[in-house]
A and B are shown apart, each in its own frame.
Chain A
Amino acid sequence: MSTLVYASTIEKGWYWLHRIISGTVLLFLVAPVLMVIPLSFNSVPFFTYPMSGFSFRWYEEFLLSARWQGGLQNSFFVAVAATLLSSVLGTLAALGLSRPNFPWRTAVLGIVISPMIVPTIITAVAVYFFYANVGLVNSYTGVILAHTAIAAPYVVVTVSATLVGLDNSLVRAASGLGAPSITVFFKVILPLISPGMIAGSLFAFVASFDEVVIALFVAGPQQRTLPLVMFSGIREQISPTIIAAAAVLVLFATAMLTAVELLRRRSERLRGIRGT
């Protein structure tokens, strides 16, 4: 704000234009979701304003019907399992990749990141044929493994980013003081990278929780995940329940985001302490 005092009229004009443009873009970003959420309280299954009445029926359907709740449970089950697997595998890999002189780094990194790059539809079709051969189609295992593969790169990337900021002198200091490497890992490295790990896990969780194309091919009726329930809802008719589900999930996402933000602050605090 203080620079504004010295600014010319043209610069002031730019300043406000920039703010207006940015505001419009942000509106464009959030408005679509915010505008449809009220429609989930509509008493009739149509998507037009003004709403004909207020009702919780779509929330009831989401929260009480076996189909939606089954989907929700499946999604949680699959996402939690995929997150655990991908977090462990991904964190280990990130630790390895961050070591200096890692052999064939580019090639290995390429493979590790590839699930992020390959279009999902290709992954879905390929994984489907492979799973069909080994009998993993229509099984929880199949969905979990496929989701782990697409979620792991997120963990690797996020944890790697944290490791770049990791001060190696702390590790050396700990070793110099005679701590065995296991102790160093659990007492020094892990606490420092845990915010990155948790953020990576959250990304992994969302990558699996939100995934529909692979599930469409690999999941059977028992494994029908929430996005699949939504998708079959869209294919047939768009029910306001989808929006109600979305509203609940947006709330959920906000809670997760807040968690990430708090973790980030904690991490910054930790690094701040390191600086003194």
Chain B
Amino acid sequence: MAATVAQTAGSEKNMLLRAELRRSERWGKLRAFALVLPLLLFLVITFVFPIGRMLFNAVHDDTLLTLMPRTTAALAAWDGNDLPGEQVFAALAKDLRDTWEQKTMGSVAVRMNYELPGTGSQFTSSARKASTLLTGPYKAALIQIDPLWERKEVWNFFKRGASPFTAYYLLRSVDYQYGADSQIVATPPETAIFRDAFLRTFGISVGVTAATFLLGFPVAYLLATLSPKSSNLLMILIVLPFWTSMLVRTVAWVVLLQQNGVVNQALVGLHIISHPADLIFTRFATIVAMTQIQLPVTLLPIYSVMKTIPPSHIRAARSLGAGSFYAFWRVYFPQTLPGIAAGCLLTFILCLGYYLTPALVGGPSDQMVGYFIANYTNKQINWGLASALSALLLVATLLLYYVFNKLVDVNRLKIG
């Protein structure tokens, strides 16, 4: 309609038209945006916001600020060299009495135990004893109650508590912590596990991704070159496991790999080995099971890209004298790269977050970061650390996704 108007218009009308075009374009944009808005709002509220809030917990902890307000405030003036003076101890005594009366000393104790293992119970007993301590001088009395209050790292701990923000959890999740003078030191080796966990997560993910690519590529090629009838049939073999519950596939691996499981039975029965081999609860089992679970995810995007490559390309190369391998390698393979990138990166990103499969078929030294997030959430109840680990994992994931986005257009991503 706009076109007919334009034909009869002079330059003045042209301007009007341009404005109208712009308006209609804006209107179109608005309409498009309105269509996306419900989902966007929904996800922002039920997904993005909760995750953002949890990540906030990785750096935010006001336990000390709210439960020990006087002590943390009084310590602001402390130089960190000698023991704090009587005024700080008086503030401490008052705070201790409050925590005892309001029954919040347990929360402070738990918070203390994170950074200074073993001091929590000393704090609780201090609070109990200090509840009867009504008059000063407090310094000598409190040190008398517990030598805990002579330790400089304890005072530095409370001094750091004056800020509602803490770097402790993030430091801890890369195996650093605060030393006695609030300096950053390496976590002692018997509790330093997270850098290894991240490396392991990364390593297992690389291994599984490589395995799925090596196994998936030939199959994708076969499917893409077969007649549609037979390839559709084989496709069922790929998509069926893809649609079978991940839990069930993991259980299947447990059943297959366990000590007297099907695989060991077969190997012993065939006299390949004399005693059942240790298959379950190993790194091997973790990688095998994850590979089988992820294989379709890598394979399908490769396949869907391969299907778009016209067979005439290879034929042309061959007719121009290229050998079959050369033609494949120089003409066909490069065209599959977007599919390979999509499949492999998708698998890699999904692998980073694995939790249940390693937990069920892996051993204690095969656990990935996801396991530690769950463990610190459920068992150790250290939610700050769980959040910090999540934050690091999420940043790694998003970084990869960004790379993925640069390499291949998300729109071309096909999942089935």
A contact set with B: CB distance below 8 Å:
7, 11, 14, 18-19, 21-22, 25-26, 28-30, 32-33, 35-36, 39, 47-49, 89-90, 92-93, 95-97, 99, 101-103, 106, 108-115, 117-123, 125-127, 129-131, 145-146, 148-149, 152, 154, 156-158, 160-161, 164, 199, 203, 206, 210, 212-213, 227, 230-231, 234, 238, 242-243, 245-246, 249-250, 253-254, 256-257, 260-261
Kindly provide the distance from the CB of A182 to the nearest chain B CB, expressed in whole angstroms: 13
Is B54 a contact of A125 with CB atoms below 8 Å?
yes
Q: How far is the CA of A250 from the CA of B215 in the complex (A)?
A: 24
Kindly provide the distance from the CB of A263 to the nearest chain B CB, expressed in whole angstroms: 12
Q: How far is the CA of A115 from the CA of B394 in the complex (A)?
A: 12
Is A230 a contact of B255 with CB atoms below 8 Å?
no
Residue on B nearest A90 in the bound complex, by CB: B39
- Within 8 Å by CB of A250, from B244, B254, B393, lies B244
Residues of A close to B9: CB separation below 8 A: none
Is A130 a contact of B252 with CB atoms below 8 Å?
no
Is A122 a contact of B414 with CB atoms below 8 Å?
no
Q: How far is the CA of A173 from the CA of B401 in the complex (A)?
A: 39
Residues of A close to B222: CB separation below 8 A: 18-19, 22
Q: How far is the CA of A230 from the CA of B33 in the complex (A)?
A: 41
Is B244 a contact of A33 with CB atoms below 8 Å?
yes
Interface of B is mostly: helix
Is A210 a contact of B246 with CB atoms below 8 Å?
yes
Residues of A close to B255: CB separation below 8 A: 36, 39, 47, 238, 243
Stretch binding the partner chain, chosen from B60-68, B69-77, B173-181, B353-361? B353-361
Stretch binding the partner chain, chosen from B101-109, B130-138, B232-240? B232-240
Residues of A close to B42: CB separation below 8 A: 89, 148-149, 152
Residue on B nearest A32 in the bound complex, by CB: B252
Is A112 a contact of B39 with CB atoms below 8 Å?
yes
Q: How far is the CA of A103 from the CA of B191 in the complex (A)?
A: 49
Contact A234 B247, CB 8 Å, known A36-B255, A122-B373 = yes
Residues of A close to B221: CB separation below 8 A: 18, 22
Give 8 A-B pairs besides A39-B255, A108-B36 with Cβ atoms closer than 8 angstroms.
Answer: A33-B244, A93-B39, A96-B33, A119-B353, A125-B390, A161-B411, A253-B240, A257-B236
Interface string of B26-51 (1 = CB under 8 A from A): 00110111111111101110111111
**A-B complex: 6 closest residue pairs judged by Cβ atoms:** A119-B353, A96-B35, A130-B50, A99-B32, A96-B36, A246-B248
Kindly provide the distance from the CB of B125 to the nearest chain A CB, expressed in whole angstroms: 31
Which residues of chain B from 381 to 413 have a CB within 8 Å of any chain A CB?
Answer: 383, 386-387, 390, 393-394, 397-398, 401, 405, 410-411, 413
Residues of A close to B252: CB separation below 8 A: 32-33, 35-36, 243, 246
Kindly provide the distance from the CB of B348 to the nearest chain A CB, expressed in whole angstroms: 11
Is A210 a contact of B47 with CB atoms below 8 Å?
no
Residues of A close to B54: CB separation below 8 A: 122, 125-126, 129-130
B339 part of interface (Cβ distance < 8 Å): no
Can you pick out 13 interface pairs between chain A and chain B where the beta carbons lie within 8 Å of each other? A18-B222, A22-B219, A22-B221, A89-B39, A101-B25, A112-B36, A113-B410, A119-B355, A122-B51, A122-B390, A154-B415, A243-B251, A246-B248
B292 part of interface (Cβ distance < 8 Å): yes
Interface string of B367-385 (1 = CB under 8 A from A): 0001001100100000100
B111 part of interface (Cβ distance < 8 Å): no
Q: How far is the CA of A238 from the CA of B370 in the complex (A)?
A: 23
- Within 8 Å by CB of B36, from A18, A92, A253, lies A92
Q: How far is the CA of A122 from the CA of B28 in the complex (A)?
A: 37
Contact A129 B50, CB 8 Å, known A33-B252, A242-B251 = yes
Is A93 a contact of B40 with CB atoms below 8 Å?
yes
Is B401 a contact of A249 with CB atoms below 8 Å?
no
- Within 8 Å by CB of B292, from A32, A158, A161, A203, lies A32
Residues of B close to A158: CB separation below 8 A: 415-416
Contact A249 B218, CB 8 Å, known A47-B258, A112-B43, A149-B47 = no
Contact A114 B47, CB 8 Å, known A122-B390, A126-B54, A257-B243 = yes
Kindly provide the distance from the CB of A253 to the nearest chain B CB, expressed in whole angstroms: 4
Residue on B nearest A258 in the bound complex, by CB: B236
Is A29 a contact of B416 with CB atoms below 8 Å?
no
B80 part of interface (Cβ distance < 8 Å): no
Q: How far is the CA of A257 from the CA of B243 in the complex (A)?
A: 9
Residue on B nearest A130 in the bound complex, by CB: B50
Contact A28 B292, CB 8 Å, known A47-B255, A92-B39 = yes
Residues of A close to B414: CB separation below 8 A: 157, 161
Contact A93 B243, CB 8 Å, known A25-B215, A35-B256 = no
Of listed B255, B352, B390, B398, residue having the most chain A CB within 10 A:
B255
Q: How far is the CA of A8 from the CA of B354 in the complex (A)?
A: 46
Residue on B nearest A113 in the bound complex, by CB: B410
Residue on A nearest B263 in the bound complex, by CB: A35
Is B349 a contact of A117 with CB atoms below 8 Å?
yes
Is B43 a contact of A115 with CB atoms below 8 Å?
yes
Contact A97 B36, CB 8 Å, known A48-B265, A117-B398 = yes
Contact A21 B47, CB 8 Å, known A234-B247, A253-B243 = no
Residue on A nearest B386 in the bound complex, by CB: A125
Residues of B close to A227: CB separation below 8 A: 245, 247
Is B394 a contact of A122 with CB atoms below 8 Å?
yes
Residue on B nearest A47 in the bound complex, by CB: B255
Is B44 a contact of A111 with CB atoms below 8 Å?
yes
Q: How far is the CA of A129 from the CA of B384 in the complex (A)?
A: 12
Kindly provide the distance from the CB of A245 to the nearest chain B CB, expressed in whole angstroms: 8
Residue on A nearest B296 in the bound complex, by CB: A29
